[in-house]
Amino acid sequence: MEIVFVASEMVPFAKTGGLADVIGSLTREIAKDGHRVCVFIPKYKKVTHEPYVLKPVLEEVGVPIGSETETGSVFECAFNELKVFFVGRSEYFDRDGLYGTPMGDYPDNDRRFAFYQRVVLEALKRLKIKPDVIHSHDWQSGLIPVYLKTLYQSDPFFVNSKTVFTVHNLSYQGSFPPDSVPVTGVSWSEFRYERLELYGKMSFLKGGLIYSDLLTTVSERYAQEIQTKEFGCGLEGALAYRKADLYGIVNGIHPADWDPKRDLGLAANFGPRDLLGKRACKEALQNQNHLKHDLEAPLFAFVGRLVPQKGLDLITRVIEDMVASGWQFVLLGTGEEEYHRALRIFGERHPNQIGLNITFDSHMARQIYAGADLLLMPSQFEPCGLGQMISLRYGTIPVVRETGGLADTVQEFNPKTGKGNGFVFSPYAPKDLLNAMRRAAVVYRDQKSWTKLMQNAMACDFSWRVSARRYLDLYERAQRKPLKV
Ligand code: ADP
């Protein structure tokens, strides 16, 4: 099959969160199966490409945006078994952030991403890449299925192209005022409740949900959850309408990208049968964060975006209890200013027990996954979550709320049976998080049980093998779908 991924971020070129990891690893797994795979992302200022080389392949690709024709260029880069294409237009993508600044989203995100998607479709034609499947992701590429079912409906070039759309996070909806409809070039007749309209706005995400041939999200639990009012973010009706075409496929990680035995970024390497290196990583982490040198104190960590979704309200409420219990805490993340402020106060109050890193730093993330004892993921909701999978690879035990992909990948450890890989709590309340942390601290004191737990964690297989197979089955299923919805 000729499979085209259209996304807004990809490791190693541009990343704000898990979407980038997924695009960087799932595509390689699918290409390994002998399919021709290419990926499109925008050419942001922050695109890092060393040692890869970006070569210009198309210039002056003109597309209508509102009443104007705007032009972009396309660059190509060979990356493992894939081709990656970058859509450039400095006015739109030569900015510090991918989607906005810490103060909020860029006000022209509708233009930026409508432009991007229209250039992708024109570029495919100019490059003569005839997709069997176009797999797009989240609101930034939610219009691809819309365009194919409207503006490009009778274009013979795309007559056999089917669309699969993956929701990585339903709460980011790409909703814009109705003025965006003519900007995108979509007809006003599509701006209605059954199609693109969402609470009076045009939602790019809803476009993906309604117009794609098949629909997926990133865990089975989340696929169920988003059909309910509690998790549906106002789209539960649209999802119920597409229920027969909605699949939950859990994300994976690339085992070679996250391998404690070979990771060059660590103070020492280690594996399930040789855990000595993990102690060295903990020591290094304590040093870096100016924490008390104490290998007996359980070291909890958090790595992620500092937004309400990730359970920051619970974390800030249990910090004093952590300190009082003699535990340590290292945090790495950026996000909302209000959390930065609150966390800094705790950090200043307890410098020997709390290490704060309010930044985005992939290298430091590795050191934390390897050096911490436990990783906190008390999310309000979590479509899949990669942090728990990565930490499990490094023998760092996740403490998670039972929601979405966290519920599908982490099971409570039972010291009697020796089964389980983490600690799980359910009601979204500080006391429930704290109780789970206390259960963890009890097991931590029993070295034999803890070693068993670390070994269970490191034996988990979250490679893409099974999930990539499921995507391929879906691509085949999409190809069998009749031509029109
Ligand atoms: P989400 O996609 O909702 O942000 P995931 O758990 O799916 O959450 O993926 C987050 C990814 O981003 C992980 O690879 C994690 O290590 C990484 N990450 C998040 N915040 C940071 C940060 N501040 N520095 C480095 N890596 C980060």
What is the CA(405)–ligand 1 centre distance, in A? 15
Give me the pLDDT at residue 484, please: 58
Mutate to test the pocket of ligand 1, among 8, 9, 15, 21 (most ligand atoms within 8 A of CB): 21
- Atom 19, ligand 1: which residue's CA is nearest? 304
Q: At 50, is the pLDDT very low, low, confident or very high (cuts 50, 70, 90)? A: confident
* Helix 430-445 and helix 447-459, axial crossing angle in degrees, nearest 10: 110
Q: Ligand 1 within 6 A of 362 CB?
A: yes
Any ligand 1 atom below 6 A from CB of 331:
no
Tell me the mean pLDDT in the region 149-173.
97
Question: What's the average model confidence in pLDDT over 94-119?
Answer: 95
Whole-number Å distance, alpha carbon 452 to ligand 1 midpoint, is 27
Q: What is the DSSP string of 317-371?
A: HHHHHHHHTT-EEEEE--B-HHHHHHHHHHHHH-TTTEEEE-S--HHHHHHHHHH
Share the mean pLDDT of the chain: 96
Among 386, 391, 467, say which to mutate for ligand 1: greatest number of ligand atoms within 8 Å of CB.
386
Q: What is the mean pLDDT of residues 25-37?
A: 95
* Confidence tier at 49 by pLDDT (50, 70, 90): confident
Residue pLDDT, tens place only, 180-189:
999 999 999 9
For residue 483, pLDDT beyond 90: no
CA distances from 140 to 42, 215, 279, 366 (A): 10, 15, 42, 28
As a whole number, mean pLDDT of residues 448-455 equals 98
Q: Is the CB of 12 under 6 A from ligand 1?
A: no
Q: pLDDT tens digit string along 378-401?
A: 999 999 999 999 999 999 999 999
Query: Is it the case that residue 221 has pLDDT exceeding 80?
Result: yes
Domains of the chain are 2-252+465-480 (3.40.50.2000), 255-461 (3.40.50.2000)
Is residue 48 over pLDDT 90?
A: no
Confidence of residue 482 (pLDDT cuts 50, 70, 90): confident
Distance 141 CA to ligand 1 centre (A): 20
Instruction: Yes or no: say if 374 and 400 are a contact pair by the CB < 8 Å rule.
Output: no
**pLDDT, position 104:** 87
For ligand 1, what atom is nearest to the CA of residue 21?
Answer: 14
Quick check: 485 pLDDT over 90?
no
Chain centre to alpha carbon of residue 454: 25
**8 A C-beta contact, residue 379 and residue 309:** yes
Q: How many CB atoms lie within 10 A of CB 178?
A: 13
Is there an atom of ligand 1 within 6 Å of 14 CB? no
pLDDT at 216 over 80: yes
Q: Indicate if the pLDDT at residue 253 is higher than 80.
A: yes
CA of 411 to the centre of ligand 1 (A): 21
Q: What is the pLDDT of residue 101?
A: 86
Q: Is 17 in the pocket of ligand 1 (CB under 6 A)?
A: yes
Question: Can you tell me the distance from the alpha carbon of 181 to that of 168, in angstroms, rounded to the nearest whole number?
Answer: 24
* Sign of the four-CA dihedral 328, 102, 207, 171: positive
The neighbour count for residue 64, using CB atoms within 10 Å, is 16
Residue 15 CA to ligand 1 center (angstroms) comes to 9
% the chain with pLDDT above 90: 96
pLDDT digits (tens, 9 = 90+) for 332-361: 999 999 999 999 999 999 999 999 999 999
Q: What is the pLDDT of residue 35?
A: 96
Q: What is the pLDDT of residues 399-432, one digit of tens each?
A: 999 999 999 999 999 999 999 999 999 999 999 9
* Phi and psi, residue 235, nearest 5°: -105, 10
pTM for the full predicted model: 0.95
For the residues 193-200, what does the mean pLDDT come to? 97
pLDDT band at 138 (very low <50, low <70, confident <90, very high): very high
With a pLDDT cut of 70, the percent of the chain lying above it is: 99
The reply to whether ligand 1 has any atom less than 6 angstroms from the CB of 402 is no
361 touches ligand 1 (CB under 6 Å): yes
Query: For residue 434, is pLDDT > 60?
Result: yes
